[in-house]
Structure 1
């Protein structure tokens, strides 16, 4: 078991489940009957060829060290892992998100492969949903979205594919299968190159800089100990609408997402009389997968920190702070190899490993205030068993000291935000969705697009 996988398992507790998930929303085909979802569920249970990733469970732990190896279940109980649910009346999106909130707060059983999936019907408009969760030790958000997309097809007539079904021969070799000799050579080169990388980081730390560094974040209502209950909310925005703003501002899509979040967080904290004088700092995951192996599974993620400019009332001023901070962060990563970037990222997030220690979160400043991820999604219309994919809403991880997570992806026509928060630490979580829309309207007005 790679050390990163072992750390995710070691850090998990009843109050702090560490799995990633998503909600996919579908519109059934026009000729779907009343038993469409039930029939689909039984068809999926008939797909019994299970990919090795979905057979994997932790081997017996060593008492003082934790989990060090994976084992594989020869016989996966699909009726346990794949479940059919229905919403109570009236079947609004509110009832769907309430169900997902409860499901997302429940631990995965380590005596079984670390995944569960729920086919959910009963929405009042006739649509249905698919909620899935997998332990972060198995994969990161990029891998999870890639697995999801392989189940979908641009052809509405294509046969439904199960998420756990093997991709088949010809799939890309995992990065974990590289030779020990090659790894050793790479490590030696990285260690030599780490010296100038460390010097560059040191110069940033002692001089004037736009890139945010650990422990520069103020304390906020999000940076508190949390329990195990979760709250989930999500919403889509028209992709072309966001593209117009992005083009007018001359920025990247990721910077626009961060700017929307910054405006929403500022408004939410003002609403609770809890906005700090200093700007919030976001931890932003970045993929470290080699460009020649974009399909590798597992975990291959680094992080950079971004100044969100929440101390500034003007939306364009905030946007300028964000783009400057992200540009300097990209420049910092640009001079590192993937291993050096992973080490720097590990240093950045290492305080999270101490968060379960009693008193640590309350007595130490937060390394950052919030996690904001943007994972690219499909660029064309996709279908599953003839049902049109309407939205993909990520449901990520929150933990002690980091009670709020915003993760974004997209479909062919929408940009989809998934917001997860500790149930007590982030009251009225759905208000963040309202403020996200208001933040976008502010940017449109400032750019004279409205």
Structure 2
């Protein structure tokens, strides 16, 4: 047996503690971003007056802030590719902690007028910038530290943990809405979920400070192959990977943000149910997602990334339009079943998408490649789509709109997924990392 001390840095085992911290620290990122959507109707009253168009203004703020994700991803990706995954993740979660705490302390529109809405938007932009480096950094860290034939399962834990964050967000929101009157909720109750989130983020920062550096980055450092200019390097060597990462993430983003996090606001806006019941329904869907995500990640290790992604793209093209129609017009039980089915599809795409996007790149320039591909797609197909869906529904009354949007993306990315080479190590030879400098 080869002694650990004799192994090259890329083969040194990552401690289970570091892997667990990385996997479950995505809780805080998704807690905050889904919290904003789950409390969208409340925030529209507190910061935008609650009149006509206030919900659209709130969702527009979410969309604008989300456009900061690619910028943040490129900046943090450059930092992570040059100086390491660990310091990058410490800085990003530190910014998130400060932004969430500041949001919890914001004065409402009744106190400072329109400045309240602008202040909320500014803090969302800071959050979006910080989150740009979060998820891709964690996924890359997990993939680089996982046993090759268990990458799908291990990387999917980041997706599962993010769903724990979403579950926490919807549960805390539902409990707060249920426990308080609307007057108390609008006056001060909305601050409670954000204060909880800032404490959660601080805990994640403390845990991450004890993590090891990624073994793949240590390999780059030992071999002196760290790119000097990661952005130029990624554009020169990773163009195909960037395109594939964009396609995978586009499908994952629209199924997640329209098929899961937008659903409570959708059900409320079409008059199907009140805020509290819609949030409890989203809680059930989040539990289903947490259960399904690691199963799909393990399945992709067994049968490959490509067949799983192709199957999920087909389901995305066929199911959502009908499911949104059922949720809008059926019974409450049918609405619940529709929400659970949408969540299951989104969970599957997130699970296999996490590892398959990271596997499009060698270690050198990986974070920058993910920033240009996956994170850019998330900004457009995650941040903008709930806003667009709400606008179209308000103007046309067509309840199937969100499902049609998902179906269009599913059909558009399907040809690229079918032609994509397999990246699961169990199904193909492992690629050797590029050893040049850029």
Query: TM-score scaled by structure 1?
Result: 0.26
RCO higher in structure (CA 8 A, sep ≥6)? 2
Higher strand share: 1
Taking structure 2 as the reference length, the TM-score comes to 0.26
